[in-house]
Amino acid sequence: MIKMFCIMRVSKGGIFILLLLYISIIILGCKQNKNLDLPAINTGLTPYEIKYPNYIPIINMPSDNPLSFEGVALGRKLYYDPILSNNGKSCSSCHEKATAFTTFAANAIPHINEAWNNVFLWRGGIEGTLEDAMYFEVNEFFATDISKLNSDAEYKMLFKNVYNIEEISQTDIAKALAQYLRSLVSLNSTFDQYLQKKTMLTASELNGLYIFNSEKGECFHCHSLGLFQDNSFHNIGIDSIFEGVNMGRFMVTADLADMGKFKTPTLRNVALTAPYMHDGRFQTLEQVVEQYNSGVKKSSTLDPIMAKPSFEHGLQLTPQEKIDLISFLHSLTDTSFINNANH
Amino acid sequence: MKYILLFAFAIITITSCQKKTENTTSQLRIDINYKVDDVPLFKDTMRYLNNAGDFYSVTRLEYYISDIVLHNANGDDYKSEQIQYVNAFTQATNQLVLDAVPNGTYTSFSCKIGLTAAKNLSNTLPNTSENVNMAWPDMMGGGYHFLKLEGHIATAAGDMGYAMHLGTDVGLVNCSVNKDIVISREIPNYLLTMNINEWYRSPNLYSIYFDGNHTMSSPALMTKIAANGYNIFTIE
């Protein structure tokens, strides 16, 4: 810029114009450049957006694994493919779509809105992102043989397309699976439609909501309205003596304060996910509600919420109130989720 | 002549883009920590004793801090609009950063635990995975939990849980600390310490066992606990 002034022939009258020009350059030049971030490299992938209402927490999306339609489709293909395992099983052999991806044999927390999770498994054996959870599944649970995928021309092509890689690693498989699981979003139950003022709840469902979301039932403290879980662990008093699998989070942390604590499962689609609790001990929602109503057992790690006098002496719900609470739980069923052909 | 002019231009060009560094305000960082009288707070250990005689542990301590004010003798108070979610056991949430606090000496610090009515509206704060369960049910007045203080107390019949939850107008806690606070670039941070035992001490001696181990449905109990929160903090 300075050179420019030198070659210019400056007449006396022109100096003011020059000065003006100069000042404006300085002013403009001093503006902070806010667009320093390079635009995202156009990979040719179609971004996949998850939309959610304001009563749902903000998703923490890892920046190194952006969601794309191609990535989700690749993850889905892997999920249904026994190629990942060494025993002929695919993820879907245990996690079934019709039951919101819970498992019957050893009751898993269903794959619903896992995008919002930061702890996984009943005892919180995995903490971190969905990618971390999937890495565990691929690396430890399935011990996936990556040479099988690397000698499969179609997978090589698909991974090249999504992640721009020549060699597929377990980490890449985990990332693709994470994309698929992240796409399993269920936010279109009758209750969501009610919150969005698109439909009405019946009188019974409304009364159930009241019990659920007030001190009458206290359910909201852990099954927080929205996700209906809290990424946290609680002993809800289904046992007072803890042995074997019932020791819960203690098995992961070896901390006595965690004895009998389990992760709060989401209650979305709960009408489809029987049996209930970490060990599947209850077959029906009636039994679960009766447990909360009159079966809470004391122990030193019993959750403080469950130590309310009302829990200790029983919630004292009338038969009609129990029916109402259960009909509210049924309003959390999202049929569009299990009927979604993309899942 | 031409060259002198050019030189002057060059100097102006170079200096004009430098950031203004007037030292009239400073960024203040406040780190929050916790103790029970003289001992540090640890999660889930049954070892604390309050003035009412409860032997207790703390399993959960979450709250919103808002309306932070640094009071100045000549009335030039610094007021922050910040609302922060704090979880005592999640380090990152225990750092308050206040930008552009005017330098000077302040004579006291005040804040609220909770939200004033105008701000205490359901689904208005950013909804994050951490604070997702702070919502206060609409059928109980709506808005947010101001405080969740939970744990166990020892009783003759074994350990019993308690949940001191505050919310709605009666549960709003006004906190105040009289202390000279110097704000300057040389003193970038202060330590704000919450003494858990103050919740049970004064003006209302509160026994978790006898007065009540759950406050949420009781405006009377919430009022008592909220009043005790006035001098919950000290500053160093």
Q: Is the domain of A89 the same as that of A198?
A: no
Domain boundary among A163, A183, A203: A183
A319 within a domain of the structure (yes/no): yes
Q: Which residues of B touch A (CB under 8 A)?
A: 2, 6, 9-10, 12-13, 16-17, 43-45, 59-60, 123, 126-129, 132-133, 135, 137-140, 150-152, 158-163, 213-214, 216-217
Partner residue opposite B127 with nearest CB, options A10, A54, A215: A54
Q: Is the domain of A155 the same as that of A227?
A: no
Distance CA B173, CA B229 (A): 6
Whole-number pLDDT of residue B6? 58
pTM: 0.85
Of A305, A310, A313, A315, which to mutate for an interface test with B (greatest number of B Cβ within 10 Å)? A305
Q: What is the 3-state secondary structure (H, E, C) of A279-307?
A: CCCECCHHHHHHHHHHCCCCCCCECHHHH
Q: Is the domain of A257 the same as that of A301?
A: yes
Q: Cβ–Cβ of A213/B139 closer than 8 Å? A: yes
Partner residue opposite B16 with nearest CB, options A26, A54, A308: A26
Q: Cβ–Cβ of A304/B159 closer than 8 Å? A: no
A322 within a domain of the structure (yes/no): yes
Whole-number pLDDT of residue A340? 87
Whole-number pLDDT of residue A36? 39
Q: Cβ–Cβ of B60/A304 closer than 8 Å? A: yes
User: Strand, helix or coil at A62?
Assistant: coil
Domain boundary among A183, A211, A235: A183
Nearest to A294 by CA among A284, A302, A306, A282: A306
Q: Is the domain of A174 the same as that of A297?
A: no
A47 within a domain of the structure (yes/no): no
Q: Is the domain of A201 the same as that of A176?
A: no
Confidence of residue A341 (pLDDT cuts 50, 70, 90): confident
Evaluate whether B134 touches B145 at the Cβ level (below 8 Å). Answer: yes
User: So where are chain B's domains?
Assistant: 2-235
Confidence of residue A103 (pLDDT cuts 50, 70, 90): low
A30 within a domain of the structure (yes/no): no
Nearest to B81 by CA among B104, B108, B115: B115
**Percent of chain B residues topping a pLDDT of 90:** 71
pLDDT digit string, tens, across residues B154-190: 998 888 999 999 999 999 999 999 999 999 887 778 9
Nearest to B150 by CA among B158, B160, B135, B138: B160
Calculate mean pLDDT across residues B53-59. Answer: 96
Domain boundary among A117, A151, A183: A183
Q: Cβ–Cβ of B9/A2 closer than 8 Å? A: yes
Q: Is the domain of A204 the same as that of A288?
A: yes
State both tokens at A100.
């919101």
Q: Cβ–Cβ of B214/A309 closer than 8 Å? A: yes
User: Strand, helix or coil at B40?
Assistant: strand
Distance, first Cα to last Cα, chain B: 60
* Block residue for tokens 């947010």: B144
Confidence of residue A98 (pLDDT cuts 50, 70, 90): confident
A29 within a domain of the structure (yes/no): no
Q: Is the domain of A195 the same as that of A280?
A: yes
A53 within a domain of the structure (yes/no): no
Chain A / chain B CB contacts < 8 angstroms: 102
Q: Is the domain of A323 the same as that of A225?
A: yes
| A59: DSSP letter | P
Beta strands B48-49 and B55-56 are: antiparallel
Q: Is the domain of A243 the same as that of A331?
A: yes
User: Strand, helix or coil at A212?
Assistant: helix
Domain that holds residue A216: 190-338
A10 pLDDT above the threshold of 80: no
A33 within a domain of the structure (yes/no): no
A85 within a domain of the structure (yes/no): yes
Distance CA A127, CA A117 (A): 9
Q: Is the domain of A207 the same as that of A142?
A: no
ipTM of the prediction: 0.79
Q: Is the domain of A268 the same as that of A150?
A: no
Omega before B203 within 30 of 0, i.e. cis: yes
Q: Is the domain of A194 the same as that of A178?
A: no
Q: Cβ–Cβ of A308/B163 closer than 8 Å? A: yes
Whole-number pLDDT of residue A3? 40
CATH number, domain of A79, equals 1.10.760.10
Confidence of residue A97 (pLDDT cuts 50, 70, 90): confident
Q: How many domains does chain A have?
A: 2
B11 pLDDT above the threshold of 70: no
